[in-house]
Structures are given as structure tokens and as C-alpha cells.
């Protein structure tokens, strides 16, 4: 990194001590920016780097609620409104025991560039809580969501900040959150949250969008080498919203999806996974992936090692950050992997990304490959604003067009910066320049 980038990075470390995921995310973007700053001295003059790294607002609040046994519980809630140069803050809420300010900041930082890449008018933010919805009753989840929204409502709005789901926050949680927002404000302001149910302001294809978009992106990367997903083996990690719909689209495009996982282990189903069964277990019964093997002859549940040991053509990490390490990448390369596309946010470690790029494996970074979710959230906001609802086919067509544009822009930007075929450079530089130009236009605010 050049001096100015080194200096700003040192400031980020000093101002955000211990927030290692944020450090990783900032460093990864900065590593792509050397030629951008040389070519555009106005970014340095206007202190764009410093401004982009400092969130506009960080909110931390207490979330008290009562569990089913009558005991009072306290969790911590967060909303980091990172950057609104391009539009209202937009980004999901994560409910997971591992969530702390650093998680939310890293996700918010990534979100700024991802949202810019979609070309849609949305800024970046992220939120969440260290609350764990797993094993909690519907009543407990509802009481927690109501308490969370009782503080959050004063910070959000359809022109201010529009949260959505992420790990641990799906349609059930969005329903409880929206209900409480409506009650407190006495406004049916559909555009304040996305990922809503279809009968109360949601958009068709939103549920599928992140996973579908990731697979569309992977297929377009393969097309640059005259290949396609048809007939390939695909390994997916996770078994949540992103993983399930990545599997669905991969199957639609003719691949054989052979793995999925959760935090207790992974399943290998060499015959190709039975998606109806997986949806029944995860979406209806809220069960564990190990339940799948009890009902599916030939499938095995593995708790040793991880699923990247299974030979595959295409790897789609769709669970959580830093789940695919350099050792995993080495194994994937040794087994002949052709493409890796990040469905999750920052699932590959920095070393893993370096190794994949070194071996010229097609690599789609999350900012680009998983942007279909937030893009379709923006389409949901458009439908809410015009009090309209679009058909599945039309919305999916829009998603396809957006993913194709992101893919092609990444390649064009990478070419412009002498890094042909490098999607990391394309995504980081493309996202950064769009936000940076808007920051300068808006003056020092
Ligand atoms: P879900 O909560 O629906 O699913 C998460 C999945 O990942 C579960 O299978 C979960 O298993 C697994 N997982 C979570 N944490 C860990 C962990 N520490 N170790 C191993 N497995 C883990 O979340 P989503 O599918 O919505 O999100 C998955 C990823 O995609 C996240 O990185 C998210 O930020 C990203 N993303 C999501 C978008 C969306 O639209 N939902 C949009 C863009 C990115 P378990 O149940 O055992 O915890």
C-alpha cells in the first residue's frame, strides 16, 4: 500500500481497536486503491478515504425482554449508519451471539461498496444484536424484536435508513419488527424495512435474490472461459436463506449440488441434494442439517474437518465470515475447483483470496456476487413507493439484468486498471469511485 493508504489504515486500526473484521475489510479494499488514488488526486485532496472509513453514525442500545420463564434478559442492539452519499442507509440486521460492534462495522463498510455497485440509489448501513434466536420460542423472538424496534424506530425511515434481514433475521423477525414499527409510529410505512411478507408489502424474488444472484454471477464468470454451471458439481456451505436459494438456482442451471452445512457439521449427498427435503427441515421445522440424513438414504453427516475437503468444481461459501481459509483454498485448488463465488459476506480469508487469485481460479467477491439481495431490496422499495407489486418473472428478469451489469462492470473496471479478469479489483474500485465521486459532490457534510 502507498503512504497515504498506509497512514489512513493506521488511523483505522487506532480508532477501531480490536475490531479485526473491520480491519480485514478495510485493508482488502485499500489494497485495490493504489492506482485509483494516483489517477484521481481529487480523492486525496478531499480526504475521501478518511471520510469513507468513519461511519456517519453509530447507535448502540440496550434491548430488555422477558423470556418464557419470566426472566428478564438483556441484549445489546446496534445500528451503524455508514454512508448515505448515494441514498438512504441500507443493509440488514444480524441476530447472532457473536455480533459486536466490529461485526456490524465490517458488514456496514462492505455494504457501502456493494450497494454502490448495484447502481441503485442506496447508501450503506448494517445492524444487529448479540441475541440468539436459535432455540427460542416464537413468543420470545417476538418480544425481543418488539423491544429492539422500540429503540430502533427513531433512527430509521424510508428516506433515512432501511434495514432488512441477515443471519438470524428472516421473514418471521421482519414481521415482528415491522408490526412494532407500525404500532409505535401509527404509519403503514412499507418502505421502512425490506424482506417483508408478500401479503404486506414484500417483493417476489427477494427471498431468493441473494442466492440466485450469486449463482447467476458464478455462471457469468464461467462463461468468460466458455464454460457453464450445467453438469458441474457445486459445493455450498450454510443452510440458511442464501445457501438454500443458491442451491435452487444452481440446480435450475443443471448443476449437481452436493453439500450444505450449519455450525454443527456438513452434509454430503453425492446424488445431488433433495431441496424440498432441505427446505422442509430448515424453513418449516427450523431443524438442523443432521436431520436430513435420517430421511435421505446415501447422504452422510460429517462433523470432522469441513466441506471444502469434498472435491468440487464450484464452491459457494454462503454461511459466515472467514469460513474458508488458505488451507481450504489449497485443497479446493488441488481438487481442480474452477470458480468460487462468495454468497456470504467476507467468507474467504484474505490469504484464501490471495491463493485463489494466484491460481487464476475465477473468484467473485461478496460485494459483487451477493449484491442481488440488496438490489432486490431496492426493487422492493421501488414497489412500495409506487404502491405496486411486480410479477415473479419480471422481478427475476430485473435481478438477472442487475447481476449481469455488476459482473460486466467489474470486468470493465478491472481492465481499465490493468487487472484483466480480476473481480476483486473491479468490485472494490467500481464501488469506491461511485461513492467517492458522490461524497465530493455533496461537499463537506
Ligand atoms: P441465515 O441465518 O439464513 O443462515 C446462516 C447459515 O450460516 C446457517 O446455516 C448457519 O448455521 C450458518 N452459520 C452462521 N454462523 C455460522 C458459524 N459461525 N459457523 C458455521 N455456520 C454458521 O443467514 P443468511 O443465509 O441470510 O446469511 C448468510 C450469509 O450471507 C451471511 O454472511 C450474510 O451476511 C450474507 N448475506 C445475506 C444476505 C441476505 O439477503 N440474507 C444478503 C447478502 C449477504 P447455524 O444455524 O448452525 O448457525
The number of the ligand 1 atom at minimal distance from the alpha carbon of 319 is 7
Q: Is 90 exceeded by the pLDDT of residue 3? A: no
126 is catalytic: yes
* Residue to substitute in 103, 166, 215 for testing ligand 1 pocket (most ligand atoms within 8 angstroms of CB): 166
The number of the ligand 1 atom at minimal distance from the alpha carbon of 370 is 43
pLDDT digits (tens, 9 = 90+) for 115-135: 999 999 999 999 999 999 999
Per-residue model confidence (pLDDT) at position 156? 98
Cα-Cα-Cα-Cα dihedral sign, residues 232, 235, 239, 242: negative
Q: Is 90 exceeded by the pLDDT of residue 75? A: yes
* Interval 247-259 mean pLDDT: 98
Per-residue model confidence (pLDDT) at position 51? 97
Q: CB-based burial of residue 179 (10 Å sphere; 0-12 exposed, 13-18 middle, 19+ buried)?
A: middle
For ligand 1, atom 43, the nearest C-alpha belongs to 370
Per-residue model confidence (pLDDT) at position 194? 98
Q: What is the bridge-based pairing of β-strands 124-129 and 72-83?
A: antiparallel
**What angle is formed at CA 401 by the lines to CA 207 and CA 413, rounded to 5 degrees?**
115
Concatenated DSSP letters of 310-352: S--SEEEE-S-TT-B-HHHHHHHHHTT--EEE-SSSS-B-HHH
Distance 64 CA to ligand 1 centre (A): 25
Q: Does domain 55-189 have CATH number 3.40.50.300?
A: no
Q: How far apart are the first and last CA of the chain?
A: 28
Per-residue model confidence (pLDDT) at position 265? 97
Distance 240 CA to ligand 1 centre (A): 6
Rounded Cα–Cα distance for residues 349 and 333 (Å): 15
For residue 21, give the C-alpha cell: 473484521
The number of the ligand 1 atom at minimal distance from the alpha carbon of 168 is 2
Cα dihedral: 48, 51, 54, 55 (round 10): -110
**Over pLDDT 90: what percentage of the chain?**
99
Backbone angles phi, psi at 197, to 5 degrees: -70, 155
Are residues 348 and 329 in contact, defined by beta-carbon separation less than 8 angstroms?
A: yes
Domain with CATH 3.40.50.10860 in the chain: 55-189
* Interval 266-282 mean pLDDT: 98
Question: What is the band of 312 on the pLDDT scale with cuts at 50, 70, 90?
Answer: very high
Distance 415 CA to ligand 1 centre (A): 33
Question: What is the band of 2 on the pLDDT scale with cuts at 50, 70, 90?
Answer: confident
Nearest to 101 by CA among 126, 122, 83: 126
pLDDT digits (tens, 9 = 90+) for 40-58: 999 999 999 999 999 999 9
pTM exceeds 0.85 for this model: yes
Question: What is the band of 102 on the pLDDT scale with cuts at 50, 70, 90?
Answer: very high
The number of the ligand 1 atom at minimal distance from the alpha carbon of 94 is 34
Q: Is 70 exceeded by the pLDDT of residue 207? A: yes
Rounded Cα–Cα distance for residues 206 and 196 (Å): 9
> What residues does ligand 1 touch, defined as CB less than 6 Å away?
165-168, 170, 210, 238-243, 262-264, 318-320, 343-345, 370, 373
Please provide the average confidence, as pLDDT, over all residues in the chain: 97
Domain with CATH 3.40.50.720 in the chain: 207-369
CATH of 207-369, one of 3.30.720.200, 3.30.70.141, 3.40.50.300, 3.40.50.720: 3.40.50.720
Kindly provide the b/e burial profile for residues 264-300, where b requires at least 16 CB atoms within 10 angstroms of the residue's own CB.
ebbbbbeeebebeebbebbbeeebbbbbbbeebeebe
Per-residue model confidence (pLDDT) at position 1? 66
Sequence-ordered strand ranges (E) for 14-69? 57-66
Distance 387 CA to ligand 1 centre (A): 31
Distance 282 CA to ligand 1 centre (A): 12
pLDDT digits (tens, 9 = 90+) for 133-157: 999 999 999 999 999 999 999 999 9
Q: Is 70 exceeded by the pLDDT of residue 319? A: yes
For ligand 1, atom 38, the nearest C-alpha belongs to 166
Per-residue model confidence (pLDDT) at position 4? 87
For ligand 1, atom 19, the nearest C-alpha belongs to 263
Per-residue model confidence (pLDDT) at position 87? 98
Distance 317 CA to ligand 1 centre (A): 10
- Select which of 90, 126, 249, 367 is catalytic: 126
* Residue to substitute in 93, 320, 323, 348 for testing ligand 1 pocket (most ligand atoms within 8 angstroms of CB): 320
Amino acid at each position: 500500500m502507498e503512504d497515504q493508504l498506509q497512514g489512513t489504515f493506521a488511523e483505522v486500526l487506532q480508532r477501531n481497536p480490536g475490531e479485526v473484521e473491520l480491519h480485514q475489510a478495510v485493508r482488502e479494499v485499500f489494497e485495490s486503491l493504489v492506482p485509483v488514488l494516483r489517477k484521481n488526486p481529487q480523492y486525496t485532496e478531499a480526504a475521501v478515504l478518511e471520510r469513507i472509513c468513519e461511519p456517519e453514525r453509530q447507535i448502540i442500545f440496550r434491548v430488555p425482554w422477558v423470556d418464557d420463564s419470566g426472566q428478564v434478559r438483556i441484549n445489546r442492539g446496534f445500528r451503524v449508519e455508514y454512508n448515505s452519499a448515494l441514498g438512504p442507509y441500507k443493509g440488514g440486521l444480524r441476530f447472532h451471539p457473536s455480533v459486536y460492534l466490529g461485526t456490524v462495522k465490517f458488514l456496514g463498510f462492505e455494504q457501502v461498496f456493494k450497494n454502490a455497485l448495484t447502481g441503485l440509489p442506496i447508501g450503506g448501513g448494517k445492524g444487529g444484536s448479540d441475541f440468539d434466536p436459535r432455540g427460542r420460542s416464537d413468543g420470545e423472538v417476538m418480544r425481543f424484536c418488539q423491544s429492539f424496534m422500540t429503540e430502533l424506530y427513531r433512527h430509521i425511515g424510508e428516506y433515512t435508513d432501511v434495514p432488512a434481514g441477515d443471519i438470524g433475521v428472516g421473514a418471521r423477525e421482519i414481521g415482528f419488527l415491522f408490526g412494532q414499527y407500525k404500532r409505535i409510529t401509527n404509519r403503514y410505512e412499507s418502505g421502512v424495512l425490506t424482506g417483508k411478507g408478500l401479503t404486506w408489502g414484500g417483493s417476489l424474488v427477494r427471498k431468493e435474490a441473494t442466492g440466485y444472484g450469486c449463482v447467476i454471477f458464478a455462471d457469468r464468470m464461467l462463461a468468460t472461459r466458455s464454460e457453464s454451471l450445467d453438469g458441474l458439481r457445486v459445493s455450498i456451505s450454510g443452510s440458511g436463506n442464501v445457501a438454500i436459494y443458491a442451491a435452487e438456482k444452481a440446480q435450475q442451471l443443471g448443476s449437481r449440488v452436493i453439500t450444505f452445512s450449519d455450525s454443527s457439521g456438513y452434509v454430503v449427498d453425492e446424488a445431488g441434494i433433495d431441496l424440498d427435503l432441505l427446505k422442509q427441515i430448515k424453513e418449516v421445522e427450523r431443524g438442523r442439517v443432521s436431520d436430513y440424513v435420517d430421511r435421505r438414504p446415501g447422504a452422510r453427516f460429517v462433523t470432522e474437518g469441513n466441506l471444502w475437503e469434498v472435491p468440487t468444481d464450484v464452491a459457494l461459501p454462503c454461511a459466515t465470515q472467514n469460513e474458508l481459509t488458505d488451507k481450504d483454498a489449497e485443497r479446493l485448488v488441488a481438487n481442480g475447483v474452477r470458480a468460487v463465488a462468495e454468497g456470504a459476506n467476507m467468507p474467504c480469508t484474505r490469504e484464501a483470496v490471495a491463493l485463489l487469485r494466484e491460481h487464476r481460479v475465477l473468484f467473485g467477491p461478496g460485494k459483487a456476487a451477493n449484491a442481488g439481495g440488496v438490489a432486490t431490496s431496492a426493487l422492493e422499495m421501488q414497489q412500495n413507493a409506487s404502491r405496486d407489486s411486480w410479477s415473479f418473472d419480471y422481478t427475476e428478469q430485473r435481478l438477472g439484468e442487475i447481476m449481469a451489469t455488476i459482473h460486466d462492470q467489474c470486468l470493465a473496471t478491472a481492465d481499465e486498471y490493468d487487472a484483466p479478469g480480476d473481480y476483486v479489483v473491479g468490485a472494490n474500485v467500481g464501488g469506491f469511485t461511485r461513492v467517492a465521486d458522490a461524497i465530493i459532490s455533496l461537499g463537506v457534510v
